[in-house]
A and B are shown apart, each in its own frame.
Chain A
Amino acid sequence: MVEKHTVIVTVLNSAGVLARVAGLLSQRGYNIESAIGAPTENPEIYKISLVVAESKEHIEQITKQLNKLVDTLKVVDISHKDNYIVREYIILKMDVTQKKRVDLFNLIKYFKAHPIDITSDHMILELSGNPRKIDRFIELMKPFGIKEFVRSGEFAMAEYQTPKKGEKNGY
């Protein structure tokens, strides 16, 4: 069964590392739905969040192959872990006439989205939250007229856990 998995890859911040990770997936015939890479609090370490829609077996193979890369420190498929906070960010450009604005503002308030730019017939909104909330928001915005939107892709962080005795709180 194919479903979306969010895979967090912690790698050394070496030249071309994002290409290595992305290339590995395409080389083995897997499609990346989204990928975000950015440095972390440790300048030597870089984190890549991938969303891949594949079967469980394929995801297992993907994580093994990613682990095999010399620069890879850790690979976690967080899809079925509830101790991760997953977030996504979106900016939408809406085509809105004066008539619809009241309804739209109600929804925006409910979702805690922020209007960034408002003109007489356009509005740009931003919203962050878990990916399901973003999906729902897009659905609800459609009838108002979405001109374009940009999603960040998913990124995540493990919740704070007190390290067990003898366990290193690494990466």
Chain B
Amino acid sequence: MNGAEILIDGLKKEGVDTIFGYPGGVVIPIFDVLYSCREIKFLLTRHEQGAVHAADGYARATGKVGVALVTSGPGATNTITGIATAKLDSSPIVVISGQVHTNNIGTDAFQETDMFGLTRSICKHNYLVKNILDLPHVLKEAFYIARSGRPGPVSIDIPVDVATAKLKNYNYPDDVKLPGYKPVLRGNPMQIEKLARAINVAQKPLLYTGGGIVSAGASEELRQLIDKTQIPVVVTLMGLGSVPHNHPCFLGMPGMHGRVAANKALVECDLLIAIGVRFDDRITGPRHTFVPNATVAHIDIDPAEIGKNVRTHIPVVGNAKDVLKDLIEKVKPRVKNSWNERTEYWEEKYPLTYKKSDEETISPQFVIERVNKFAGPETIVVTDVGQNQMWTALYYHYCQPRKFLSSGGLGTMGFGLPAAMGAALGKPENQVICISGDGGIQMNIQELATCAINRIPVKLIVINNFYLGMVRQWQDLFWDKKYSQVCLLHSPDCPDECRGPNENCPPQYLPDLVKVAEANGLPGYRATSFSEVDEVLKKGLAHDGPVLMEFVVNRLENVFPMVSAGKPLSDIMMGD
């Protein structure tokens, strides 16, 4: 067998059913094998970045490893944003790139880039396969590393002559030999005991859980712990869905755009039980101000996360699922106390509010509320990045894990549509809704054609405020309303210094997204007034196939609650 055949055989053995990618010169030998391969579906995206986000969306929705295949040079460099996105959100993907002939490596050959060097800092691990003998074990290792421990992206760079080289006596290895890589799954019993004791005596305990619960498939165990102990829980963006929104102990998402109750609970708790989270600065604010009154316990599969950002008193290294199982046995049942009452009081006193739409303008939050109304618990919601993402995180009601997919760590605009495409292919039985902004949708808009031509039924919702809204919000609140380069209506006729929408704003918005949808072969519907919202949603969501629904919303709406950058979580702005 040659390298390309071994590669495809290895992918089959790893259970890969879909590859996202784009061909090019040095990967033709691999595409030649794919040509007659019926077991693996290949999705030709319109850009390599789309392919990697799609593989990422597939991985997040299914829990399986997503695979992207691209060529060398520009094909490889176009994957960088996607790989970094997957790294920051611990998403298991394997990105296979072609490379120039081994004899030409280092000569600045046509379409040569140092993929091994480029991806080193944004991958969990990476490989340059210079010898066909290494290919089988590299493949085996790549998939194992991507999916085990704390998941993450792995890059494999394969020179064209390795893809064509022959290997006699090929056998796909049964196991990996990685003496330096042994993720710890079971937590240290002494540490778990210590944590259980801390929980038993805490007056104001708080759970702070994230993507690690989703990766470990530990939602059920988390729910059992909450039910046994009645400890209130805040859930990060990456963890949304792992605790049902209507659970009485659920306080919502904390952080910069967190729910008031969630942030107040963080400020006042005396024991913080962090599970599968990484104390991101968008959650903690200035680190020294975070959980000022609390003993911090941190359960994480990645020992390097413990103590990285916040001092930890009770570290437990292990898989969330295994540790939770052990912990549930050791904690004493706890009944609701005045602390629970206090968090419930905050919940009631500080609900999410926004100015309701009048007949003229649509509030973006209202659109999310209506999407919520029409979608079911099995619906997978994918967001882009910015205000649309925060409104969805706040107003959409998540019930299940792996149903909310969003670029949390890297905050990659353009993630939404291709990731939704990947999720739809991975979970054909689930409805997939993508919620994007007018900025983000234009960053990978080429994938509309991919959806249409392959009949991938992504329901694309664009919240259009004609602004790069999140940056505009910061300029509004902290930069004296100097709306520098955030208006997508801005034309040479506009004044140099614009302070917001006025009667002289250009009437025409480009591109016309409904026409873009139609040009790409899918229906486009637009709502510009309050009364049209339900109509458009009903029509769009009922459509059998991909569809674009555009909601022209109040241009100056801001996301609240908000804690300004650099301020402690106690300093919450509620908006008007």
Contacts and interface: CB of A to CB of B under 8 A. Distances in A.
A167 to B, nearest CB: 18
A20 B128 contact: no
A19 B117 contact: yes
B302 interface: yes
Given A19-B117, A27-B121, A67 B303 contact: yes
Given A19-B117, A20-B120, A23-B121, A71 B307 contact: no
A47 to B, nearest CB: 13
Interface in A18-37: 19-20, 23-24, 27
B117 to A, nearest CB: 7
B38 interface: no
Q: Interface size bucket, B side?
A: 10 to 19
A60 B309 CA distance: 12
Nearest to B125: A70
Contacts of B117: 16, 19
Interface stretch (B175-183, B383-391, B546-554): B175-183
B172 interface: no
A16 B115 CA distance: 12
B128 A73 contact: no
A21 B180 CA distance: 14
A64 B304 contact: yes
Nearest to B306: A64
A83 interface: no
B145 A61 contact: no
B130 A12 contact: no
Contact of A19 (B120, B179, B181, B304): B120
Contacts of B474: none
Interface string B54-85: 00000000000000000000000000000000
B180 A12 contact: yes
A65 B181 CA distance: 13
B481 to A, nearest CB: 34
Given A19-B117, A73-B179, A68 B125 contact: no
Contact of A16 (B116, B124, B308): B116
Nearest to A73: B180
A42 to B, nearest CB: 12
Contacts of B178: 70
Interface string A82-124: 0000000000000000000000000000000000000000000
A20 to B, nearest CB: 6
B568 to A, nearest CB: 21
A72 interface: yes
A12 to B, nearest CB: 6
Interface string B281-307: 000000000000000000000111011
Contacts of B306: 64
Contacts, number: 42
A26 to B, nearest CB: 9
Overall SS of chain A's interface: helix
A1 interface: no
Contacts of A71: 180
Given A20-B120, A70-B125, A70-B145, A15 B130 contact: yes
Interface string B166-189: 000000000000111100000000
A71 B304 CA distance: 16
B180 A60 contact: no
Contacts of B145: 70
B180 A72 contact: yes
A67 B304 contact: yes
Nearest to B149: A68
A76 interface: no
A71 B181 CA distance: 7
A70 B120 contact: no
A83 to B, nearest CB: 24
B179 A12 contact: yes
A69 interface: yes
Contacts of B120: 16, 19-20, 23
A70 B181 contact: yes
A51 interface: no
Contacts of B180: 11-12, 69-73
B301 to A, nearest CB: 11
Given A12-B179, A19-B120, A61-B308, A68 B128 contact: no
Nearest to B150: A68
B121 A68 contact: no
Nearest to B308: A61
Contact of B304 (A20, A57, A65, A73): A65
A68 B116 contact: no
Interface string A39-76: 00000000000000000010011001101111111000
Contacts of A11: 180
Nearest to A74: B180
Contacts of B302: 68
Interface string B101-135: 00000000000000011001100110010100000
Nearest to B309: A61
B184 to A, nearest CB: 11
Contacts of A27: 121
A68 B305 CA distance: 10
Given A20-B120, A23-B120, 8 more contacts: A12-B179, A16-B128, A27-B121, A68-B302, A70-B124, A70-B125, A71-B180, A72-B180
21 contacts: A11-B180, A15-B128, A15-B130, A16-B117, A19-B117, A19-B120, A23-B120, A23-B121, A24-B121, A57-B307, A60-B307, A61-B307, A61-B308, A65-B304, A67-B304, A68-B304, A70-B124, A70-B145, A70-B181, A71-B180, A73-B179
Across the A-B interface, the 10 shortest Cβ-Cβ residue pairs: A64-B304, A70-B125, A27-B121, A70-B181, A73-B180, A72-B180, A68-B304, A65-B304, A71-B180, A23-B120
